[in-house]
């Protein structure tokens, strides 16, 4: 309950920041436009987040006849979690990873990479699937998607305003004058990223804990996280997209210095430490 409240507060802060940027750039009209745009973006994210994430990662549906053992494992975990069976997808990515998407448990999907199936043993794969079901059960996939959309929109809005909005009438357009422009262009995007990262990191800890509860074997997920982390530092992804890094169980771009510095995930070491504590 406390974790869900924290996610709600962080998402509210991100939405409020988006409205503040609109107001600082365009006054009352800018505020109304930002509010309208926020509602539209959240609506699009709600109805189409799964289609966008799956198509961008070149995920294809996989049938039960193609992967009977994988379906059996997923079905057993769903029964424990009291969840409907999500749609199952596979991506042609050689590095091991996975993600969950969808607006609610009844409209959800789990995607695994080809590399994941080739790299992990049964207990490790079970831990990864349980982690993704944890995101679905905790209903945080939609929150993470909206956070990514809003954070990106704040950056885009400030860049657009700076380059195309013109500076001659800035004092008249913005109730905060040039100070408002400075805050909007430089401070707001960084604050949006920090809030987005806080949302993403909170949800990973919770999904890890849910996975350990579902499998009764936290060591399986611990071993899987270790392997995926090592691959991320030694193998460049083929298909996975940086824009969706917050959705993956392990950030596949964490081998890059800047990605590590601004990671959407808590460190694997901290995640393993928390798993072994429970």
In whole angstroms, how far apart are CA 97 and each of 8, 100, 124, 165?
Answer: 27, 11, 12, 41
Q: 61: Cβ–Cβ under 8 A, 6 or more apart, which residues?
A: 87, 88, 89
Residue 64 bears catalytic tag: no
Rounded to whole angstroms, the Cα distance separating 216 from 69 reads 19
Based on the number of CB atoms within 10 Å of its own CB, is 60 exposed (0-12), middle (13-18) or buried (19 or more)? exposed
State the catalytic residue, choosing from 132, 172, 236, 260: 132
Entry field: residues in the chain: 278
- How far CA 173 is from CA of 24, 161, 166, 169, in Å, comes to 8, 11, 10, 6
Mutual angle of helices 188-215 and 68-81, in 10-degree steps: 100
Question: What are the structure tokens assigned to 251, written together?
Answer: 């950030």
Name the DSSP letter for residue 107.
G
> CA 23 → CA 26, 163, 170, distances in Å?
5, 18, 12
Give the residue numbers marked as catalytic: 132
């Amino acid at each position: 309950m406390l974790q869900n409240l924290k996610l709600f507060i962080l998402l509210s802060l991100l939405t409020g920041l988006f409205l503040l940027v609109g107001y600082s750039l365009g006054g009352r009209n800018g505020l109304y436009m930002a509010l309208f745009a926020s509602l539209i973006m959240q609506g699009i994210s709600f109805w189409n987040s799964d289609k966008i994430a799956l198509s961008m990662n070149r995920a294809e549906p996989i049938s039960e006849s193609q992967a009977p053992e994988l379906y059996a494992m997923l079905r057993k975990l769903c029964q424990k979690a009291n969840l409907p069976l999500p749609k199952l997808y596979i991506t042609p990515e050689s590095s091991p990873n996975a993600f969950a998407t969808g607006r609610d448990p009844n409209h959800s999907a789990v995607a695994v990479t080809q590399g994941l199936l080739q790299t992990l043993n049964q207990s490790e794969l079970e831990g990864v699937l349980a982690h993704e079901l944890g995101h679905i059960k905790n209903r945080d996939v939609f929150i993470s998607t909206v956070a990514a959309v809003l954070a990106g929109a704040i950056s885009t809005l400030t860049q657009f305003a700076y380059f195309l909005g013109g500076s001659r009438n800035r004092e008249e357009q913005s109730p905060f004058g040039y100070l408002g422009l400075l805050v909007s262009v430089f401070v707001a995007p960084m604050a949006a990223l920090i809030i987005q990262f806080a949302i993403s990191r909170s949800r990973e800890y919770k999904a890890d804990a849910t996975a350990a509860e579902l499998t009764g074997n936290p060591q399986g997920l611990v071993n899987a996280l270790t392997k995926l982390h090592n691959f991320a530092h030694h193998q460049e992804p083929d298909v996975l997209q940086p824009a969706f890094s917050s959705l993956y169980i392990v950030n596949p771009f964490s081998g890059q210095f800047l990605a590590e510095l601004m990671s959407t995930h808590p460190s694997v070491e901290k995640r393993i430490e928390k798993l072994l504590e429970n």
